[in-house]
Amino acid sequence: MKKIAFFILLLTSLPAFSQTRDEASIKSIFTESLKNGQSYELLRYLTKNIGSRLSGSPGAAAAVTWGQDVMVDWELDSVWLQPVMVPHWVRGQKEIASVVRSKKTDSLALNVCALGGSAGTGPGGVKAKLVEVRTFEELAQLGKKNVQGKIVFFNRPMDPTLMNPFLAYQGAVGQRADGASEAAKYGAIGVIVRSMSSNPEDYPHTGMMRYKPGVVMIPAIAVSTHHADLLSKLTKEDKDLQIYFETHCETLEDVPSFNVVGEIKGGEYADEIIAFGGHLDSWDLAEGAHDDGAGCVQAMEVLRLFKAIGYRPNRTLRAVLFMNEENGLRGGKMYAELAAKNKEKHIAAIESDQGGFTPRGFSMTGPESAKARIRSWKPLLEPYGLTDFSQAGGGADIEPLGKQEGPDLSGQMVLIDYIPDAQRYFDYHHTQEDTFDKVSRRELELGAASMAALVYLIDQHGLK
């Protein structure tokens, strides 16, 4: 009877023991990150010594070498490069734009930038009357008669009433992505798009646009929200308002680049992979600090944290610095293709691409059982400000991985997006303002520790 009672006591105490162990391990992760974290200094080097990293640029190539060298110096179990061909778009000479004919104002310079992937106007520029619309439906209602030979001004703002700024972004970004092709259908010769921001700002936001097959490739620029409001006012006062803009961007041949991968090999379940990462490329206007240097250094720091606290994982842990998220997703697609080819078994993938701000939680897409298990760890993570586990979603670079099928691949994996407080994210997104000085050291290091804590729990307990 005494033996039976002992074993009953042992079995009932196991969950409490596991929770105590988990609490201690998570605390050690946060302590190491906040006392000795290297994310901030890594980001300082990436942004200040390398700078902007648009795919195909010298900066992108330098960032690949940097990421590989850092992880090799850390003596991880494996560090390697995954070759991938990427687009090579160049901005060229600085853009100019101005109001050249108006009843209410003399010539007025506008704050603009070319959208990524746009064709250039060449030295002659384009000059024409401006026609304002907010939606593609409004454009269609105007028809060819009222659009042909004009410059279309897409002026749909992000909805400032939405608490999630990414939902506001999703509601407005279609005009940036497809506005040029939609306007070209009706004979427009150029497009101006309101920048993707909720704030009144004097600087423009770039970002990717795309041309649809069989449609004339007309040039597209973004205008600052401040000047978008001014243009809207002027068009209402003067139906003959004319705009001039000139860009010198062009798309060159694809060039070779790489994803950078660092790995700590697992023990008992080494065939199961937990991947986490950010995208190494950035737009060319600034340093790419929040988008997405922060995510890259946080992913790298996860591995360093585990080494620093002496933790040996059960499963294989892999940090991935993806190339070409901004204008093609080639890196994410290649990573998924190679995972399928090598029959790798990913059980989870985590992406950090919402900036280096204060941690709030994780969004998830995948099997309900896996999401329920992650939510069951909420009491362990709440003391560190991680309270939001309700949203659906994963990251753009890991989405292709979640589409893999087969018994040894990722059909049942969970995709996870690290969620910081992103209220200020679109102040900097794709602009000249996305610089190192906009990042808080403490917030960045807290984010790295948050990702490491979740990776630890998945590694310890699995997702089944």
Residue 250 falls in the annotated catalytic set: no
* Identity of the residue numbered 170: Q
Contacts of 292 (CB under 8 A, 6+ apart): 278, 279, 280, 282, 325, 352, 353
3-state secondary structure of 298: helix
Q: How far apart are CA 157 and CA 140, in angstroms?
A: 19
What does the chain come to in residues? 464
Kindly state the DSSP code that residue 82 receives in the 8-state scheme.
Answer: E
The region that residue 15 occupies, defined by phi over 0 for left and psi between -120 and 50 for alpha, beta otherwise, is: alpha
Residue 413 φ/ψ, nearest 5 degrees: -80, 165
Helix crossing, 441-461 with 2-36: angle to 10°?
150
Kindly state the DSSP code that residue 95 receives in the 8-state scheme.
Answer: P
- Residue of 325, 344, 351, 433 marked active site: 325
Q: How far apart are CA 117 and CA 107, in angstroms?
A: 28
> Using an 8 Å Cβ cutoff, are 277 and 320 in contact?
yes
The region that residue 120 occupies, defined by phi over 0 for left and psi between -120 and 50 for alpha, beta otherwise, is: beta
Give Cα 148 to chain centroid, integer Å. Answer: 36
Give the active site residues: 325
